[in-house]
Structure 1
Amino acid sequence: MGFKIAVAGATGNVGREMLDILDERGFPADEVVALASRRSQGTEVSFGDRTLKVQALENYDFSDTDICLMSAGGTVSKEWSPRIGAKGCVVIDNSSAWRYDADVPLIVPEVNADAITGFTKKNIIANPNCSTAQLVVALKPLHDHARIKRVVVSTYQSVSGGGKDAMEELFNQTRAIFVNDPIEPDKFTKRIAFNVIPHIDSFMEDGYTKEEWKVLAETKKMLDPAIKVTCTAVRVPVFIGHSESINLEFENEITADEARNILREAPGCLVIDKQEDGGYITPYESAGEDATYISRIREDATVENGLNLWVVSDNLRKGAALNTVQIAEVLVNRGLITPKKAAA
């Protein structure tokens, strides 16, 4: 007997991706329910070759549901995830609401799947920030081999990380430029079309943004609290796909060739690294793909045991929806949950 799965936030970019990926990967679900706010009730969304009618989250009874994939935003998750968990339904949350809670495991299956057992404290599992997810997938095998001391990362994040409205703003601004219409930024602080903005999320007292802090805190929680991390997060005029320029300093010696070979064998990683024109990955090519792509692997002679990497991934998939479904697969494959209907 299969599981009953609910997708909360099913009308959003990530919610729709979750439904697609559940179908693509043949998740063992007997029933999938699409949930959203009351104003979206009755909206139709696709699930494979089927169409689901969206139900209102506020009216839904989770008592017979096994897993809720939550992509309805932090405010909704703060209110609803504990209620859903109390019904015996495991919440896998895509927002930042629970990532830093000591009683909630923060999981990327290729990195720290064993930590998932801590979900029983609150019946909540957190999905990391999209830029952190691809970062730690690339860092984990290298850290295991040579122990990372310090990470310096600059992100080049697509507008889809800001939701549908952000994607529409890039589209509308691009069109406005070509027809010489005026541009008024709305979702972004400055014009995003044909521009880059070194500002994602709110500023903190130390001058970093919340997005940059997330990368630091989440990398330490999932990988190693001893690693020093600094980040500059930048929004770029790309629709889908986050890119990262990463500088690493290791405790032990590691060459570019060793790193290349390690990453070729690492789960979730795909190395495309030829030192020639076009011998690297770009965000355009990562869209719709599941892998974390790694290119431009080279030694940094300015520090002892230093490496540089270029890492690219589809932020709607590995950065959000795919990772959430993979977490659900870990729960099922390790026998950590059983279908409620079977138990009844």
Structure 2
Amino acid sequence: MSSEKDTIDSAGIPSDQDIHQNTNRTTEDFKQLKTIASLRRDSSSLDEKNIKGDVQDIKIAEIGDDTALDVENDVELVLDKARGLTIEECRKLIKDLLEEHTYDYNFAATQKDKLRKLLDGPAEGQSAEEWEILLKKETALNIFYSPYPEVRAITRPDDDVNMPCETIRAHLLGYLWACIGQFINSLFNSRYPSITLQSSVAQILLYPCGMFLAWSLPDWGVTIFGKRHTLNPGPWTYKEQMFSTIIANVGLTSAYCFWNIQTQQVYYGDKWLTPEYEILLLLSTQLMGLGFAGMLRRFVVYPIQALWPNILPTVALNRALLVKETHESINGWRMSRYKFFFIFLIGSFNRFR
């Protein structure tokens, strides 16, 4: 066992001490290095105690901007998947991945070349043990996490099914801000200068509203089909924030038929337009769009290649709002991101003379 470890260490695989001493790496690099270091051990020695110790080391480690990493669940899941794979399974998974992403231009060409070289076996000067470790690490990251680094940076590889999502308060806030946003955007849609309430603004405003409801609402509820539905299931969660954001985002965009109605009234002078016609035109076009969206889910939502870059900032913002940050002194400052934002938001409306 010791000779195998020495062989792998001499091949350039970082040790635990090397990883902790390197404080200038990105979060993604840190996860990958830690995965390699953990896989150095023989499978017989990877007991539960060692796993917990490795993950705890990551949790308290500090890198980059001296922010403590809380990636315990992420690393545990990736390590479990990597340790349970054989070389044949890794080869098959990577082959299927490359075939599936043949025409995926979001999947970096350099990453594809790296995976193809791994399938060819150990490179020149690379030991079999080092190649196996790298093969398992890349398989775990690309198959059981995400092949896109942009997605891995803002998401988690697992899902907490017990976290509240479609709660009464989440529905309430989502519909409320959808109505407010639609009213503002429709009112100023054809006026200059126009004012538009963006989804990012609704996200930021949803957060204090959700926190307020979590603090103020009583825990009143009913049980339906064995599941309890309550006004206040506990702290405002990440899933509730995302669910309310989706509802509000759907209602923020003004319906295209508004332009049709305004054009008919202003430019064509149609006098036969009635409220009934306008309402039916609005419902028919909106429901048709939602229907097409539902039918196309298997092509534009479910495939892993369906990567929509404009959605990533929304996910990143919700994660920044809901994931707890470590309060520490940085250059003499001890201020949360949300407090910093509101100070400058209020200051932007004041005149400095």
TM-score > 0.5 by shorter chain: no
Which has the larger Rg?
2
More helix by share: 2
Instruction: Report the TM-score when normalising by structure 1.
Output: 0.23
More strand by share: 1
With a CA cutoff of 8 Å and minimum separation of 6, indicate the structure with the bigger relative contact order: 1
